[in-house]
Amino acid sequence: MELFRLTIHELHELLKKGEATATEIVGSVFERIEAVEGKIQAYVTITKEEALARAAGVDAAIKKGKGIRPLTGIPLAIKDVICTLGVRTTCSSLILENHVPIYDATVIHKLREEGAIFLGKANMDEFAMGSSTENSAFMKTKNPWDLGRVPGGSSGGSAAAVAADMCAGSFGSDTGGSVRQPAALCGVVGLKPTYGRVSRYGLVAFASSLDQIGPITKDVTDCAILMNAVAGYDPMDSTSAMVTLPDFTRALLPDVKGLRLGIPAEYFIEGMDPEVEAAIWEAIRLLEHLGANTEKISLPHTDYAIATYYLVATAEASSNLARYDGVKYGYRTKRSMDMLEMYQRTRREGFGAEVKRRIMLGTYALSAGYYEAYYLKAQKVRTLIRHDFEEAFKHCDVIITPTSPTAAFRFGEKTEDPLTMYLSDIFTISVNLAGIPAISIPCGFTKGGLPIGLQILGKPFNEEAILRVAYTYEQNTEWHKRKPNL
C-alpha cells in the first residue's frame, strides 16, 4: 500500500486499526518527497529528522494506550509564512533567509497538541505577494500536472505538495486568493475561512485586514478535519472572533436539496477560458440535478475589486514591511557608511521586485495629499463590496463562481505585465475584502489535462454551508480522485 497517497481520514483509520504506524506513514511520505521533490520543488525547508523523531514518539504513546486523535501522526506541510519554533521561517525572501522564530504560531501550537507531524516549510511567493510562486527568492515550484506551468500562488508550494502526495495535507495563507487559486490550479481543495475564524498570531503579516490561514487538502473531509483543529478564538490575536465553534465534520452531508445557489453575472466575464466556464456550468447543473435551486444574483461593485484590493493590501503591506530594516532581525547589508544607507541597502538587497513594487504603491497611497484620494476611497468601496454580499445572501445560501478565470499558465507568461498577473485573482479578491468564507474544489479538467476549480462562497462564519455543498458535489464526482503522473 502506498501510504503517501492516502487522505488524512484514511490514514487515521489505519492508525486506529493498528494497520500502520506513524513512523511508516511519515517514512512513506519522505520516500515520496525524495522521489519527486527534485521535479516539483515544493519545500524551502525539510525537517526529516524532527518529523521521524516525532513519529516515533507518537507510536510509543499509542503503544502505551494514549488516544488517537484525528491528526495524530498525520504528516503536514506548512507554508513558510507561518512561524515555527526553532525551524526557519523565511517567507521565501532573502531578507528573512536565516530567520528562526522563537515561538510557534497559534495554529502550529494547536496542530502540535493534536499530534500532527510537520514535514517542512512550503515555498511561496515572497511575503505572499503573487499568484504563481514565481516571486520566491529561492526556487520556482512546478505544477505537478504540467512541470512547465505554475502551481498558482502565493501558497503554491503548499498546494503542489498536496497534489503531488508529498504531504497528507497542508496550510497556506489567503490574502486575495492565495489558498483557493493554487488549490484550483493544482486540482486540490482549499478553504479560506471567515476573517477572524482562525488566529493570525504567528502569521507573518502581508495585509492584516485581509490575511487568513486556511487548509489545503486532498478532499473536503480532510478540509473539515483540519478546520476543527485550528479554528477558534485566540486572545493573542486582537482580530480573532469570539463566536461559537462548530464541529465542521458534521456539515459533511451529501444533500443539497432545497439549498439556494446564487450565480453572479459579474463572475462570468469576457476573456474567461471557455473550458473553465463550461466546467463551472456543468457543476452548477449537477448541483441542480441533486436538488439545489439556482438564482441569478448581482454583485455590482465587483469591477472595482481589483483596484480596491491593490490599494488596501499594498498600503497595509507598506506599513507591515517597514519593520524589516536590518536592525532587529533578518538580513542586514554589509555595505553601508551610516544608518540611513544601511536601511536603504538592506531593503534594496533583501526584497524582491514584486515586494518593492507593492511597498512603493502602498507608501504612495498613504502619503500626504493622496491618502483621501486613494486609500480612504478604497476603504469606502470595500464597504460597498461587503454590502453587495450582504444583499446577495438575502436571496441565496451560498454563491457559486469559478475560482480562477484560467487553468494553470506557463512560467513567464504573465511576469512581464503585473496587471495581467493581478487579474488572476479577479474571482477570489472580493471574498477577502468582504471577510467571508470560500472554498475551491476540483470540478473538471481542460483538454490539456489541467485542473479547473469551482469556488463556493458563504455567509460570515457559515463555513458549514460551503462544506456541505462542496462535499455533496465531491461525493457525486470523481475529479478529486485523479492524480498527476509523476
Write down the pLDDT at residue 328: 87
Which residues fall within 8 angstroms of residue 350, CB to CB, at 6 or more apart?
93, 94, 95, 324, 326, 330, 331, 333
Which residues fall within 8 angstroms of residue 288, CB to CB, at 6 or more apart?
261, 294
Residue 383 is placed in which grid cell? 464597504
Kindly list the domain boundaries of the chain, sorted by start residue.
3-252
Q: How far is CA 22 from CA 47, 122, 405, 422, in A?
A: 16, 21, 40, 41
Write down the pLDDT at residue 29: 98
| pLDDT band at residue 271 using 50, 70 and 90 as cut-offs | confident
Q: How far is CA 245 from CA 72, 117, 200, 231, 241, in A?
A: 21, 24, 17, 7, 10
State if pTM tops 0.85: yes
> Among 165, 163, 166, which residue's Cα sits nearest to residue 442?
163
What residues form DSSP beta bridges with 440?
190, 455
Q: Which of the following is catalytic: 79, 121, 142, 218?
A: 79
Q: pLDDT per residue over 434-462, tens digit each?
A: 999 999 999 999 999 999 999 999 999 99
Number of C-beta neighbours around residue 394 at 10 A: 8
Tell me if residue 318 is catalytic.
no
Q: Which of the following is catalytic: 178, 240, 318, 424?
A: 178
Taking a C-beta distance cutoff of 8 angstroms, is the pair 31, 4 a contact? yes
Three-state secondary structure call for residue 472: helix
What residues form DSSP beta bridges with 293?
260
Write down the pLDDT at residue 424: 86
Q: pLDDT per residue over 223-254, tens digit each?
A: 999 999 999 999 999 999 999 999 999 999 99
Helices (H) and strands (E) in the chain, counts: 15, 11
Rounded Cα distance between 427 and 305, Å, is 9
Write down the pLDDT at residue 1: 80
Tell me if residue 459 is catalytic.
no
Q: pLDDT per residue over 92-123, tens digit each?
A: 999 999 999 999 999 999 999 999 999 999 99
Query: Measured at the alpha carbon of residue 195, what is the angle toward residues 310 and 315, in degrees to the nearest 5?
Result: 25
Does residue 419 carry a pLDDT above 80?
Answer: no
**Strands, E, within 308-379: which ranges?**
none
Q: Average pLDDT of 60-87? A: 97
Q: pLDDT per residue over 284-341, tens digit each?
A: 999 999 999 999 999 999 999 999 999 999 999 999 999 999 998 899 999 888 999 9
> Among 461, 467, 459, 464, which residue's Cα sits nearest to residue 243?
461
Tell me if residue 170 is catalytic.
no
Q: Which of the following is catalytic: 154, 155, 158, 430?
A: 154
Taking a C-beta distance cutoff of 8 angstroms, is the pair 162, 217 a contact? yes
What residues form DSSP beta bridges with 398?
261, 458
Pairing of strands 260-264, 75-79: unpaired
Pairing of strands 169-174, 189-192: unpaired
CATH no., domain 3-252: 3.90.1300.10
Rounded Cα distance between 180 and 193, Å, is 11
Taking a C-beta distance cutoff of 8 angstroms, is the pair 105, 195 a contact? no
Taking a C-beta distance cutoff of 8 angstroms, is the pair 131, 156 a contact? no
Q: pLDDT per residue over 123-146, tens digit each?
A: 999 999 999 999 999 999 999 999
